[in-house]
Amino acid sequence: MTITLGGGTMAKKSSRGDKAFMETAIALEITRFQRDSLKDQVEQLSAQLHTANLRAERAEERLHETTIMLSKLSLQATSHAVRSTLTEVLVEGRSILRLENPVYTPQPNAAAPHQ
């Protein structure tokens, strides 16, 4: 037995309602699955971010230590630099200036022209 209401039948309306209910239930399950998947992904990305932040902090500390070390080395190198000295010597009765501890000492092959 079917009841007619406003030109349609109750069975058709009930069938449409069941179909809409099933579609809504399926959409809800898909949404729940996606939410759980995204929660897991957020947790993984948060852990990666934490690890990356720790690695960055360690790298910054090493960079700071290296910068301080290089600064100290450069200060030591410049403060203990051996200065060049100039003395006058006589060679075969002629006065010649002799440079001791020159800043730049050319290599023997560096003066030869390239062929």
Structure tokens at 84: 């060049």
- Average pLDDT score over residue span 19-40: 95
Would you say residue 94 lies in a domain? no
Query: Which pLDDT belongs to residue 113?
Result: 57
Would you say residue 80 lies in a domain? no
Would you say residue 91 lies in a domain? no
Domain count, the chain: 1
Whether pLDDT at 4 is above 50: no
Task: Report pLDDT digits (tens) over 61-81.
Answer: 999 999 999 999 988 877 766
Q: Any idea of the CA torsion for 10, 16, 21, 23, to the nearest 10 degrees?
A: 170
Would you say residue 97 lies in a domain? no
Strands 8-9 and 85-91, bridge-based pairing: unpaired
CA end-to-end distance (rounded Å), the chain: 113
pTM of the model: 0.46
Whether 100 and 84 have beta carbons less than 8 Å apart is answered as yes
Would you say residue 109 lies in a domain? no
Cα 67 to Cα 59: distance, rounded to the nearest angstrom: 12
Structure tokens at 114: 């390239």
Full residue range of the structural domain in which residue 65 is found: 7-75
- Average pLDDT score over residue span 96-107: 76
Would you say residue 71 lies in a domain? yes
Would you say residue 19 lies in a domain? yes
**Sign for the pseudo-dihedral over CA of 47, 52, 55, 60:** negative
Would you say residue 104 lies in a domain? no
